[in-house]
Amino acid sequence: MIGRRALLSGLATTGLAARALAQPALPRLGILSPASIDAAVSLLVRGPFLAALAEMGYVNSRNIAIVERFGEGDAARLPQLAVELVILQPRVIFTNTNVAATALARATRTIPIVVGPA
C-alpha cells in the first residue's frame, strides 16, 4: 500500500514534470563562425553581437536559446556545421563571413540568414 506522503510526492513530481513539458521551448538563434570561439575575430564580432542582443532584452537561456557552431579555422567544416544548425531549426542564423553564409544558403532555403560585419 502506498503511503500518503509517497502518493502526494508522486503527484507533485508528476505535476511538475507535466508543467515543464508543457512549457514551449525557447526560440533559437543560430550562430556559425569559421573561426574558433576564442579567436580574435570571434572576440571582435561575437562579443558585441551578444551584448547588442542583451541590450534589446535577449539573454541566452532566459528568453532565447543561442546555438553556436565554430569551424576552428577550417572552412571545409562549414557545410556540415551549417547542416547541424539547420537541423536545430533556429528562427534565424547569424554569421560574419561570406564563406559561412554560402554554406548556410546551401543548407537552408527557409531559415533567414543574417550576415554581419567581418
- Helix H, strand E, coil C: the string for the chain is CCCHHHHHHHHHHHHHHHHHHHCCCCCEEEEEECCCCCCHHHHHHHHHHHHHHHHCCCCECCCEEEEEEECCCCHHHHHHHHHHHHHCCCCEEEECCHHHHHHHHHHCCCCCEEECCC
Least confident residue range of 41-45, 49-53, 62-66: 41-45
Does the global pTM surpass 0.75? Answer: yes
Q: Is 60 exceeded by the pLDDT of residue 29?
A: yes
pLDDT, the chain, mean: 87
Q: What percent of the chain has pLDDT over 90?
A: 66
